[in-house]
Structure 1
Amino acid sequence: MTQVNNHTPTAFRTGIAVLSLTLGVFATVTAEFLPVGILPEVAAGFNNTEGQAGIMITVPGILAAGRADRRSVLWFISFLLGVAAWAPSFSILLISRAMVVLCLGAFWATALAVAGRLTTPEKAHNATATVFAGVTAAMIPGVQFGTFTAGLFSWRGSFISTGLDSAAAFLMQLLPCLPCMPERQ
């Protein structure tokens, strides 16, 4: 019997790790574009004008990963995105939108870099393409699904469903499938 450790992932563990990155990218991209489809509902939910609610689309942010272990950065971003779904006030919603913006760029950059490092050099392009599939799924059916969900359950239902996607990615990343990946020197 072959013993597997965190430095020698099996194909199954690598697949779960890449899937967690794909789901995480799907959740972050969906959360980024979701407000466009449900802006009037969000405005009404907080008794704001659509112009005021539109601020949540333009909230900028920057997250510098520095020299942190890439796995820790992914955990933090996935957790942060899951928390962002529960906004009790418009101010908190704006803060959560800033978190989404912080998450988006950092998760994309980190997930793509990590995906390529999870496999052998010959298979790195497949892992990267799989992560990009999460982006495509978010941009095409993700926002439409969010708008549909808002019609069924309210705009909060859309944000909560995206938060649940992020929580699933976070839990998958906590499994021992995603190895420690310090920044390359």
Structure 2
Amino acid sequence: MRALLVLMLGAFVSQTTEYLPIGLLPQIAGDLQISHTRVGALVTGYAWIVVLTAIPFTLLTRHIDRRTLFLTLTGVITLSNGLAIFAHGYWTLALLRSFAALGHGAFWALLASYAVKIAPQMPPARATAWAFAGISAAIVGGIPLAAYVGQHLGWQAGFALFGLLGSLTLVLGYLWLPAMKLAPQSEATSTARRNWPLYAAAFTTLLVVSSHFNGYTYILPLLSELARLPVSDNSLLLLVFGASGILGTLLAGLLGKRSLQLAIAAATGIVVSQAIMLFSPELPMLAWLDMVIWGTAISALIIGLQSWVIELAPHNAEAASALYVTTFNLGIGGGALTGGAMLAHFGAGAVLWLGLAIGVAALASFFLATKLAARANA
């Protein structure tokens, strides 16, 4: 169990690192005197590096012991966050984030299969949920905590904090994680070929994640401009968003054997939450309800999608996870890019309308994936 807790802590640090500019957006923009869109580009650039490196790095590192690889990749993220305290310019920060992003895809590709092998007595979906609870923890505590530290001590302190937490992960991982190598099976050394249901699931992942990050990357400006809530409420709103992720994680655990249905319900929640926010100018209190729905939905979605992908390629778990991580981060980068463009040129309301359109397309794409899966099993 303690090994799973190390994986959870590593996932917490890794995922929060990717999202840090979201929680620290006002402080980074103000200190470096840049626009919100350029801060959002720090998320986009990170995600696109993951897109380019996830599959090749996963395949290239298959021969490395899982414990060694976990510690190495966590060390890269930790070093990047720690050095950010010395970053006093935009491009220095962008370079450090690029360094951290290089191993991010391989990290997430190994996480699910490593968790399943560490806890063979658990159902695979439950072991995965334990490790991926770090994502919910990033939303629950990581982003609000970074926002709070950023407000009081500056954005560099927010990065440094996760450098310290990364160091703690390294120590615990060294003490508690078991050594483990992958079986040298030829079918596991490449991506799942001609698995059309898996490819359709990856396309669905791309759409629904794009819908989420189109708005979530700029959640603080949206809350300020649409709901007209004071900046002092930002940390609390993010905490409500994150705390709701606990509910999403619990739901994912209860519905672990129904990953597809869980993913569809969660994707619907993301679409509904963006629709609710459109009405927040008339009734600002809706923003608080919106944070509950949205936070619950995204935490459940992440676990639901990951479990669904593994179910579609049970003998190629790491390769399937690498494909999932690639499309997930393509969605992060694409969503952050489109949301930033809409915010800069058409305003906050346009960001949400685009997110809604992408979300509806994502819901429709679930049916394509299920039809292909039914045909493959026929």
TM exceeding 0.5: yes
Counterpart-to-counterpart distance in 1, 2:156 and 2:41: 17
Counterpart of 1:73, as a letter, is: L
Mark the structure with the bigger radius of gyration: 2
Could you say what secondary structure the match of 1:54 adopts? helix
Number of the residue aligned with 2:179: 180
Number of the residue aligned with 2:27: 41
Number of the residue aligned with 1:120: 120
Q: Measure how far apart 1:124 and its partner are.
A: 4.7
Give the structure, 1 or 2, with the largest relative contact order (CA under 8 Å, sep 6 or more): 1
Number of the residue aligned with 1:140: 140
Q: Measure how far apart 1:39 and its partner are.
A: 2.0
Counterpart-to-counterpart distance in 1, 2:97 and 2:79: 11
Once the two structures are superposed, residues 30-63 of structure 1 have per-residue CA deviations (whole angstroms, 9 ceiling, x without a partner) of 1111201212322333344444333311112125
Counterpart-to-counterpart distance in 2, 1:119 and 1:52: 42
Counterpart of 2:158, as a letter, is: S
* Residue 77 (1) aligns with residue 73 (2): yes
- Bigger mean CA deviation after superposition, 83-92 or 162-171: 83-92
- Bigger mean CA deviation after superposition, 114-123 or 71-80: 114-123
Could you say what secondary structure the match of 2:99 adopts? helix
Check the 8 A contact 1:84/1:97 in 2, yes or no. Answer: yes
- Bigger mean CA deviation after superposition, 31-40 or 150-159: 31-40
Number of the residue aligned with 1:9: none
| TM-score (normalizing by structure 2) | 0.42
Q: Where in structure 2 are the equivalents of 1:32-71 lying within 5 Å?
A: 32-59=18-45, 60-61=48-49, 62-63=53-54, 64-65=57-58, 66=60, 67=62, 68-71=64-67
Q: Where in structure 2 are the equivalents of 1:21-40 lying within 5 Å?
A: 21-40=7-26
Could you say what secondary structure the match of 2:24 adopts? helix
Could you say what secondary structure the match of 1:179 adopts? coil
Q: Measure how far apart 1:161 and its partner are.
A: 1.2
Counterpart of 2:69, as a letter, is: V
Check the 8 A contact 1:27/1:162 in 2, yes or no. Answer: yes
What percentage of residue pairs aligned between the two structures are identical?
28
Give unmatched runs, 5+ long, in structure 2. 185-378
Give unmatched runs, 5+ long, in structure 1. 1-14
Q: Give the helix-richer structure, 1 or 2.
A: 2
Computed over aligned residues only, the root mean square deviation of the Cα atoms, in angstroms, reads 2.0
Counterpart-to-counterpart distance in 2, 1:48 and 1:122: 48
- Bigger mean CA deviation after superposition, 61-70 or 143-152: 61-70
Counterpart of 1:154, as a letter, is: G
Number of the residue aligned with 2:157: 157
Check the 8 A contact 2:27/2:151 in 1, yes or no. Answer: no
Once the two structures are superposed, residues 49-87 of structure 1 have per-residue CA deviations (whole angstroms, 9 ceiling, x without a partner) of 444333311112125032222212111111011111122
Once the two structures are superposed, residues 136-160 of structure 1 have per-residue CA deviations (whole angstroms, 9 ceiling, x without a partner) of 1112332111101111211011111
| TM-score (normalizing by structure 1) | 0.81
Counterpart-to-counterpart distance in 2, 1:43 and 1:114: 38
Could you say what secondary structure the match of 2:14 adopts? helix
Check the 8 A contact 1:25/1:131 in 2, yes or no. Answer: yes
Counterpart of 1:180, as a letter, is: A
Classify 1:122/1:39 alpha carbon distance in 2 versus 1 (closer, same or farther; 3 Å): closer
Could you say what secondary structure the match of 1:52 adopts? helix
Check the 8 A contact 1:28/1:103 in 2, yes or no. Answer: no
Check the 8 A contact 2:23/2:143 in 1, yes or no. Answer: yes
Counterpart-to-counterpart distance in 1, 2:9 and 2:102: 17
Counterpart-to-counterpart distance in 2, 1:119 and 1:127: 7
